[in-house]
Amino acid sequence: MNDLIQRALDAAERAGAAYADIRIVEREAESLTVKNGALEAANSDHSEGFGVRVLVDGAWGFSASALLEPEEIERVTRQAAAVARASGLAGGDPVVLDETPPQVGRYVTPHQEDPFSVSLDEKLRLLFEADAAMARVDGINVRQSSIECGRERKTFASTQGARVEQEIVEAGAGIDATAVNASESQSRSYPNSSGGQVVTGGFEAVRAMDLAGHAEQIAEEAVALLDAPQCPSGRMTLIIDASQVGLQIHESCGHPIELDRVLGYEASFAGTSFLTLDKLGALQYGSELVNIDADATAPGGLGTFGYDDEGVPAQNVPIVSAGRFVGYLTSRETAPVIGRSSMGSSRAWSWDRIPLIRMTNINLRPGDAGSLEDLVADTRDGLLISTNKSWSIDDRRLNFQFGTQIGWLIRNGKRTQMVRNPTYTGITPQFWGSCDAICGPDEYVIWGVPNCGKGEPIQTGHVGHGAAPARFRDVQVGVGRW
């Protein structure tokens, strides 16, 4: 492999590149789904190849191939240089990279049990066990359980002398129960909706979820929701569970802090951002309790790694500090625009895609409000909601509406009536400004988002959001249209 890498870097320099890097990537993924007592899907993917990125006359060129052979590596590198020359003809400001020193190192996701060495029988046993537990509840029409495993081995090298090797290991699982009557359907999920919870780590994370142990409860809640009253409308105190706080961070903080969007390089999928450069260090993004970090070093986070795909080491940087907006997600190309070095958030979905700025783990630091039950007890009247069901947010990431699977009214510090179809709306800085309590470290979980879309052609991002349940005052709550 050393020889192949050197050929690419040499060919890039011969083609006039001021800078070049190569990524050789092998990705494996496996997913299993059990539905209504039967194996619904068993998928296994394997992909291997390399991508070469070159900078010629201040413009990028990229090319990739699945054929890892010396002549092909040289051909692809020459092609990348030709693309860069052609891109340069379009004009525009020349790309200038930051001063990140070239890194040499190796990173492997800490894990105990290799997810790919766990037998199919054992994985199916866990899924059928959860399925059977949901089936014991009368009134469930659709039961679904799934497990996902992933592994990525990649080598990065650059003409500046960087050389890093990584092995990222991922594991995840989730269950959903759906009950249907003549007028609507209601679902409950554990540990989260949209495929459950996914982490970097070994299969021990899936075992720790205890899917079967939570199956009956979510099934009972799905059935009960059909007869629960609609969530009331009005302005009220809202307690949001940790997983929905995670998605709230994703949409209203994670995306608008992507500096390529801010600079107008990247505008697909509700791109652009209200966090324009003049807001950095100036905007009060939230209340003084709100501290948000971009932490690619957090153990278990789905956005945790050793180095990004530009060879920049994983870092933990403040984004919102005591409510003040202080940082962006950056790359080696964009960071100099704000006078900084890259904080290491440039990642590509696969060997045949260029790296884009992607979230790492965008985490809301826990507060001092104790457990969720403590927070409910501290709330006179309000609404507690859990588990995302729908989301909508405008291009600039300012006006949003979220729906969750379930809610409970809070009366005199007690969780009372279950309500169905809760939604809430807000405007990002006002909403975070109304945050007056965040639960403590015991309630803090880093939620994985395995399906963040960005770019054309689209790239899937694996990112995370650390969050604990939090309370927001005077929030517009209403009946959803979803």
Residues that bind Zn ion (CB under 5 A): 452
Cβ distance to Zn ion smaller for residue 297 or 460: 460
Pairwise CA distance, residues 100 & 310, whole Å: 10
Pairwise CA distance, residues 481 & 174, whole Å: 26
Strands (E), 232-291: 234-240
Contacts of 19 (CB under 8 A, 6+ apart): 54, 55, 97, 158, 159, 160
Cβ distance to Zn ion smaller for residue 335 or 452: 452
Shortest Cβ 317–Zn ion spacing (Å) = 19
Phi, psi (deg, nearest 5) at residue 10: -65, -45
Shortest Cβ 74–Zn ion spacing (Å) = 37
Contacts of 476 (CB under 8 A, 6+ apart): 234, 235, 424, 425, 426
Shortest Cβ 116–Zn ion spacing (Å) = 27
Cβ distance to Zn ion smaller for residue 56 or 253: 253
Cβ distance to Zn ion smaller for residue 131 or 170: 170
Closest CA to 245 of 447, 480, 482: 447
Cβ distance to Zn ion smaller for residue 191 or 303: 303
Pairwise CA distance, residues 23 & 135, whole Å: 47
Shortest Cβ 338–Zn ion spacing (Å) = 22
Cβ distance to Zn ion smaller for residue 188 or 462: 462
Q: Specify the 3-state DSSP secondary structure of 457.
A: coil
Shortest Cβ 370–Zn ion spacing (Å) = 31
Pairwise CA distance, residues 147 & 69, whole Å: 35
Q: Are 371 and 399 a contacting pair, CB within 8 Å? A: no
Strand pairing report for 381-393 and 414-419: unpaired
Shortest Cβ 124–Zn ion spacing (Å) = 31
Cβ distance to Zn ion smaller for residue 256 or 480: 256
Contacts of 197 (CB under 8 A, 6+ apart): 172, 173, 174, 191, 205, 209, 445, 447, 448
Q: Specify the amino acid at residue 381.
A: D
Q: Where are the alpha helices (DSSP H) in 15-114?
A: 70-88
Pairwise CA distance, residues 248 & 365, whole Å: 14
Closest CA to 408 of 428, 427, 386: 386
Cβ distance to Zn ion smaller for residue 95 or 452: 452
The pair of three-digit structure tokens given for residue 376, joined into one six-digit string: 């409910």
Return the residue nearest Zn ion (CB atom): 452
Virtual CA dihedral for 60, 64, 70, 74, nearest 10 degrees?
A: -30
Cβ distance to Zn ion smaller for residue 400 or 408: 400
Cβ distance to Zn ion smaller for residue 64 or 452: 452
- CA torsion sign for 424, 425, 431, 432 is positive
Shortest Cβ 257–Zn ion spacing (Å) = 12
Cβ distance to Zn ion smaller for residue 25 or 452: 452
DSSP state letter for 251: I
Burial degree of 261 (CB within 10 A; 0-12, 13-18, 19+): buried
